[in-house]
């Protein structure tokens, strides 16, 4: 009977029910989308790094965190010295140049990069040949509606010729010749980071040990350690960011439900008086207000999940080269928990107000 009473109440004010549900769903969508973007950014970076084929990464002394690209501060002259170290098979230097966030152009010595990584897979066109040649990945090409042979401006007053379109997921979305990028940025013969491949994975610790002696000022890690540092839980700032977003979700859900259920109590004061005249206890009145809020919270969660899937679809289809969003179903119950807790808390005060209404005053309410 309680369930029927609550469902009929929800059906009786469809607009209010729909708006409350939508407002809750916005919180859920916000949480799931930001979580999806955080994980997407992290997983994409991990994938890009792991596909290079290196075993050790050497970064500039100015690198502060894994997601920040250091400026080109490592002299290229270090590369031959690194290659002379025992168990080192080869080393390559790359340079990064930030474009419109989150896009980065990476300068490489393409033949050496191909030798280390196995090379790019070309969807169309081919490797870099001329100084103004650029490789872009398929997502970026689709987003910009560009084809091989087209011109593209990535840096102001610097048109590039698209030589090839590559499969996404390896190194960077935009790849140019290392020497060209060094000249453009006027950094001489310096690189942002050096990737090192060793003879055998078992030699990695020994190689790192030697490289640390050779380059004591630099950040030197195994590729596995470097990739692990890209995980959502490891990147500084992501956990607090997610915590803040969850708090915002709980707060906005709480306020939504609080206002909605407060309106309910005002609109139904007389009905609450009727129920009290029939012998409804304070717990019963509280229960129907809470149950109504929880149903709104649950429905809002379902709608929120669907909206987050829509956001994923929109990003994937219209801006595939922006921050990638991934769907994380294990976050659905967490988002549901957040929405339900917010709903239950939001309904607490209105529910208590309703439960404490004087039956005579409530019955006289017009």
45 vs 269, beta carbon nearer another protein: 269
26 is a contact residue toward another protein (CB under 8 A): no
82 vs 355, beta carbon nearer another protein: 355
Residue 207, phi then psi, degrees to nearest 5: -65, -45
274 is a contact residue toward another protein (CB under 8 A): yes
11 is a contact residue toward another protein (CB under 8 A): yes
275 is a contact residue toward another protein (CB under 8 A): yes
Q: How far is the CB of 47 from another protein (least distance, A)?
A: 54
CA proximity to 347, closest of 266, 285, 262, 230: 262
Candidate list 281, 306, 314, 317; residue touching another protein; CB under 8 A: 281
Which window, 52-60, 251-259, 265-273, 320-328, contacts another protein (CB under 8 A)? Answer: 265-273
Residues 102-131 that bind another protein (CB under 8 A): none
Q: How far is the CB of 12 from another protein (least distance, A)?
A: 4
Cα–Cα dist 281/344, whole Å: 19
293 is a contact residue toward another protein (CB under 8 A): no
DSSP 3-state of 154: strand
Cα–Cα dist 41/257, whole Å: 33
Question: What is the chain's alpha carbon radius of gyration, rounded to the nearest angstrom?
Answer: 29
222 vs 260, beta carbon nearer another protein: 260
The interaxial angle of helices 282-318 and 2-12, nearest 10 deg, is: 50
360 is a contact residue toward another protein (CB under 8 A): yes
- Answer whether 60's CB lies under 8 Å from 194's CB: no
18 vs 327, beta carbon nearer another protein: 18
12 is a contact residue toward another protein (CB under 8 A): yes
CA proximity to 300, closest of 356, 357, 347, 236: 347
Cα–Cα dist 173/141, whole Å: 9
311 to 340: interface string for another protein, x by CB under 8 A: ------------------------------
158 is a contact residue toward another protein (CB under 8 A): no
Residue 193, phi then psi, degrees to nearest 5: -155, 160
213 is a contact residue toward another protein (CB under 8 A): no
Tell me how many residues contact another protein (CB under 8 A): 25
14 is a contact residue toward another protein (CB under 8 A): no
Which window, 71-79, 84-92, 157-165, 266-274, contacts another protein (CB under 8 A)? Answer: 266-274
4 vs 213, beta carbon nearer another protein: 4
- Answer whether 188's CB lies under 8 Å from 144's CB: no
186 is a contact residue toward another protein (CB under 8 A): no
Q: How far is the CB of 270 from another protein (least distance, A)?
A: 7
15 vs 278, beta carbon nearer another protein: 278
- The DSSP element (H or E) to which 315 belongs, if any, is helix 282-318
- Answer whether 94's CB lies under 8 Å from 174's CB: no
340 to 359: interface string for another protein, x by CB under 8 A: ------------------xx
Candidate list 1, 15, 233, 237; residue touching another protein; CB under 8 A: 1
Cα 66-168-88 angle, rounded to 5 deg: 55
DSSP 3-state of 109: coil
Reported residue count of the chain is 366
Structure tokens belonging to residue 198: 């060793």
Which window, 52-60, 180-188, 271-279, 298-306, contacts another protein (CB under 8 A)? Answer: 271-279
Cα–Cα dist 152/164, whole Å: 12
Token match 């996404």: residue?
168
Cα–Cα dist 266/282, whole Å: 16
DSSP class of 203: G
271 is a contact residue toward another protein (CB under 8 A): yes
> Which residues of the shown chain bind another protein in the complex (CB under 8 A)?
1-2, 4-5, 8-9, 11-12, 270-271, 273-282, 284, 358-360, 363
């Amino acid at each position: 009977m309680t369930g029927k009473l609550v469902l009929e109440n929800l059906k009786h004010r469809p607009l209010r029910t729909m708006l409350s549900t939508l407002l809750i769903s916005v919180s859920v969508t916000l949480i799931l989308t930001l979580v999806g973007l955080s994980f997407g950014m992290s997983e994409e970076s991990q994938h890009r790094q792991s596909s290079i084929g290196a075993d050790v990464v050497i970064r500039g002394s100015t690198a502060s965190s894994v997601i920040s690209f250091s400026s080109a501060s490592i002299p290229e002259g270090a590369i031959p010295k690194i290659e002379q170290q025992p168990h080192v098979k080869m080393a390559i230097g790359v340079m990064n140049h930030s474009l419109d966030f989150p896009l980065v152009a990476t300068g490489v010595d393409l033949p050496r990069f191909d030798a280390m990584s196995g090379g790019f897979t070309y969807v169309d066109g081919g490797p870099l040949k001329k100084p103004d040649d650029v490789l872009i990945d398929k997502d970026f090409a689709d987003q910009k509606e560009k084809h091989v042979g087209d011109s593209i401006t990535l840096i102001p007053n610097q048109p590039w010729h698209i030589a090839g379109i590559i499969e996404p997921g390896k190194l960077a979305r935009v790849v140019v010749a290392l020497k060209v990028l060094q000249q453009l940025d006027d950094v001489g013969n310096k690189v942002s980071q050096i990737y090192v491949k060793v003879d055998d994975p078992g030699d990695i610790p020994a190689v790192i040990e030697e490289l640390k002696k050779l380059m004591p000022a630099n950040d030197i890690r195994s590729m596995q350690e470097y990739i692990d540092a890209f995980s959502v839980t490891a990147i500084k700032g992501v956990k607090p960011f997610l915590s803040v977003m969850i708090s915002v979700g709980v707060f906005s859900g709480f306020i939504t439900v609080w206002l909605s259920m407060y309106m309910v109590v005002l609109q139904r004061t007389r009905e609450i008086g009727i129920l009290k005249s029939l012998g409804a206890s304070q717990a019963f009145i509280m229960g129907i207000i809470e149950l109504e809020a929880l149903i709104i919270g649950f429905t809002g969660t379902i709608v929120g999940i669907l909206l987050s899937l829509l956001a994923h679809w929109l990003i994937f289809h219209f801006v595939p080269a922006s921050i990638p969003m991934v769907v994380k179903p294990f976050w659905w119950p967490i988002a549901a928990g957040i929405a339900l807790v917010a709903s239950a808390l939001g309904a607490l005060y209105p529910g208590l107000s309703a439960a404490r209404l004087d039956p005579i005053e409530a019955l006289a309410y017009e």
